[in-house]
Structure formats: structure tokens, C-alpha cells
Chains A and B, each alone.
Chain A
Amino acid sequence: MIEAIRLTGEAALRVLARLGRATLFISQVIAGLPMLLRRFSLVVTQLYEVGVLSIAIIVISALAVGMVLSLQMFYTLRDFGSEQILGQVVALSLVRELGPVLAGLLFAGRAGSALTAEIGLMKATEQLSSMEMMAVDPIKRVVAPRFLAGVLSMPLLAAMFSAVGILGGYLVGVGLLGVDSGAFWSLMQANVDFYDDILNGILKSVVFGIIITWIAVFEGYDAKPTAEGVSRATMRTVVHSAFAVLAFDFILTALMFGGR
């Protein structure tokens, strides 16, 4: 019994210590960001790794999600004779929720895991310590450009997700199911507000980008320098990012759209 309490306390302290390390770590990373203005080529390389290589999975998933959403909504809406509002339903659900959240989950799986594995392996093969030996700060040289690239990529990817998803919904709704094209767009425009819906959706994706990239680079930097440690850290990145995205999505939705 005493042992159980002791173990619980120990686990809680471990979690708190990790949270503290992560916070100190992110403050060091943020302190390293101004240096990147002079060496932006480091960020461009990482934008390619993190952003460009994620486009394929984002676009394909968005198209599939938009098409399925349109198909399912159509059969339900048809029962009420209001299939014209299909465009509005698809656009609002993508812009407010599905775009940022699904792009975030895919981003965590595609880019976050890669970041963790890369940084973790650099640590395991002692590249980071050799950098320190050469008086190069690995946080500024390795971590900060990756963090900035992740934070910049995420809103762009989420916007692409929403736009491509709406196009997918349009293809199925108007092309396949015969919803009127004019009604599809005009009801969408009448009911989607730029500030309330689209800017809030983008704000969400910015928050998710910061959280996911933070978790990814921290897990990599904090990984045990063994093969097993890196694999665990990669796994934790995906799991923790997914939990964090879903939890923060609930909070942000309650803050942004809860009053109405």
C-alpha cells in the first residue's frame, strides 16, 4: 500500500520534471529564433522536410475527407429536403474543426515523428555533443530551425486541407449527387464568416503547430540515446501530439464558438 503511494508520487514527480524540462527547453529554442533571421536558409531546408513533404498526405486525405463528408451529409440532408445547404455544412465543418484537427494529426504522424527520430538519432550518435564541442549550440543550430519550420508549415497545411476538402465536397456534391452549383457556393458564402470561422480556424492551426512541433523537438532532444529510446520517443510524439491536439481543440472550440 505504502509502496503504491510512493510509486504514484514518483510517477507524478517524473511527469512534472518532464514538463519543467520541456518549458525550459522551449524558452531556449525561442531565444534561438532571432538568430535564424540571419541564416534563414536553415529554415528553408527544414520547410522542405517538414512542409513540402507533408503536402501529399494532406491533400489526399483532405480530398477523401471532403468527398466522404459530402456523401454522408447529402443522404441525411435529403431527408429534410435541404440538400442545398450541403456546401455550408461541408465548409463549416472543415474550416472550423476537421481542417485544423485532421491536418494536425496527420502533421504529427508525418512530420512530428520524423523530427523526433532525426533529433533523437543525432543525439544517440553523439552529433549533438560534438557540435557542443565545436562551440555550436545544437539548440540554435538544429532545434530552432526545425521548430520555426513546423510552426510556419502547420497553418499553411491546414488551410490547404480545408480548401482541398471543400473542393472534394464540391466534386461529389455537385458533380456526382446533383446539388445545384450556385446554391452550394452562395449558401456557403452567406453562412461562413471570415473573421468568426476562417480566422478562428487558422488560429487553431497555429496553436496546434506550436504544440505539435514543441512536443516533437522536445521528445527528440530528451530521448534516451539508444535505439529503444529513440523509438519510444517517436511513439510518444505521435501519441502525445494527438492527445494534445484533441484536448486543445475542445478548449479552443469552447472559447471561440461556445458563446453562440
Chain B
Amino acid sequence: MYSKMTEIAVGLFVAAGVVALVMLAMKVSNLGAFSDTEGYTINARFENIGGLKVRSPVRLGGVRVGRVNAINYDQNRYEAVVEMTIANGYDRLPIDTSANIFTSGLLGEQYVGLEPGAEEEYLGSGGVIELTQSAIVIEQLIGQFLLNSAE
């Protein structure tokens, strides 16, 4: 009743299940591509973050270098504070780096685009980006366009 074949079949079953799990982890999810734990944190203040969300990507020249860690609102300065984790490999961002919120494609997700400045000093952990540009909110644009065309 309990033979070697049964043992082998059960072994194959468990191995196939584990292979499927590893495939889901490495090939399907973001676990293999980009580890979010290793990195340093920088902050940026925006007037309006539009549709930016926690876990949105941070890009440098189009290359993904990190992600948005937390979004808070500073009641004293009436600005949104975006906390980002940047991978350790990209540790030479000048202190006059600017941050913009862009949309990938017309209806795509929103992301933080960084543009390096020219200073010789670099942003460290906890550094703050001073030069920021708010998200383009498409409803505001349409509103302005309608207002202009009415005049």
C-alpha cells in the first residue's frame, strides 16, 4: 500500500509546489527586481501631489531608483511631504536636485521624477529636496483652458 512510488510522487508534488511559489515570488512579483529595504530616505515638499500614492516609483532620468515610502501633510507650511526611499547604489544626488511629479502616458500612473543639479555636495539620508514642481492636475488644466477660451 505504501510504496516507493508513492514517496517519489509526493516528493515531486511538494517540489512542484515550491517551484511554483518561487516562480511567483521571483518571476511574477517585484521581489526579484527591486528590493525596497536597502536604501536611504529623502524628503520633498510639494504644493500638490495629484494622484501620487505610497509605493509609486521614483525615477532618475527615466530609470527607477526608488519608491515613495510615505506621504504626509505638513499643517504648518500647508504642503505635502513625500518621503522616498532611494536604492543605495544611487547615492550621488546633488543637493540642488529638483523633484517633479509626472504622469507616465496620458492616463498612466504618477511618479516622482528627479533631475540632478550641479552642486558638488550630495543629499544624504534624511536630506530634503527644495526645488519641487507640483503635479499637473488635469481638471485644473481643463478649467484654465475653458476660462481662457471664454474670454
Q: Which of B10, B17, B30, B32 makes the CB contact (< 8 A) with A193?
A: B30
Chain A residues lying within 8 Å of B10, measured Cβ to Cβ, are 44, 47-48, 51-52
Total residues of chain B contacting the partner, CB 8 A: 27
A194-B29, A194-B31 given as contacts; is B21 within 8 A of A47 (CB)?
Answer: no
User: Does A52 lie within 8 Å of B13, measured CB to CB?
Assistant: yes
Given contacts A156-B14, A190-B33, is CB(A185)–CB(B27) below 8 Å? yes
**Which one, A52, A153, A160, contacts B20 given CB within 8 A?**
A160
A47 and chain B: residue at smallest CB distance: B10
**A166 interfacial by beta-carbon distance below 8 Å:** yes
Q: How far is the CA of A155 from the CA of B16 in the complex (A)?
A: 12
Q: How far is the CA of A130 from the CA of B23 in the complex (A)?
A: 47
State A157–B16 Cα separation when bound (angstroms): 9
Q: Is B147 an interface residue (CB 8 A)?
A: no
Closest to B17 in A: A156
Whether A198 and B14, one on each chain, are in contact in the complex, defined by CB atoms closer than 8 angstroms, is: no
* Cα A198 to Cα B31 with chains together (Å): 10
A162: chain B residues within 8 A (beta carbon)? 20, 24, 28
CB-nearest residue of chain A relative to B53? A260
* B6 partner residues in chain A, CB cutoff 8 A: 44-45, 48
In the bound complex, what is the Cα–Cα distance between A48 and B2 (angstroms)? 10
Which residues of A lie under 8 Å from residue B17 when comparing CB positions? 155-157, 159-160
Residues in B7-50 with C-beta less than 8 Å from chain A: 7, 9-10, 12-14, 16-21, 23-25, 27-33
CA distance A45 to B29 in the complex (A): 34
Closest residue on chain B to residue A189 by CB atoms = B33
Set of chain A residues within 8 Å of B18, measured between Cβ atoms: 156
Q: Which residues of A contact B (CB under 8 A)?
A: 41, 44-45, 47-48, 51-52, 55, 91, 95, 153, 155-157, 159-160, 162-164, 166, 185, 188-194, 197-198, 202
Q: 23 pairs across A/B with beta carbons < 8 Å?
A: A44-B6, A44-B7, A44-B10, A45-B1, A47-B13, A48-B6, A48-B9, A48-B13, A51-B13, A156-B18, A156-B20, A159-B21, A159-B24, A162-B20, A162-B24, A163-B20, A163-B28, A164-B20, A189-B29, A190-B33, A191-B30, A193-B29, A198-B29
B residues in contact (CB < 8 Å) with A: 1-2, 6-7, 9-10, 12-14, 16-21, 23-25, 27-33, 55, 57
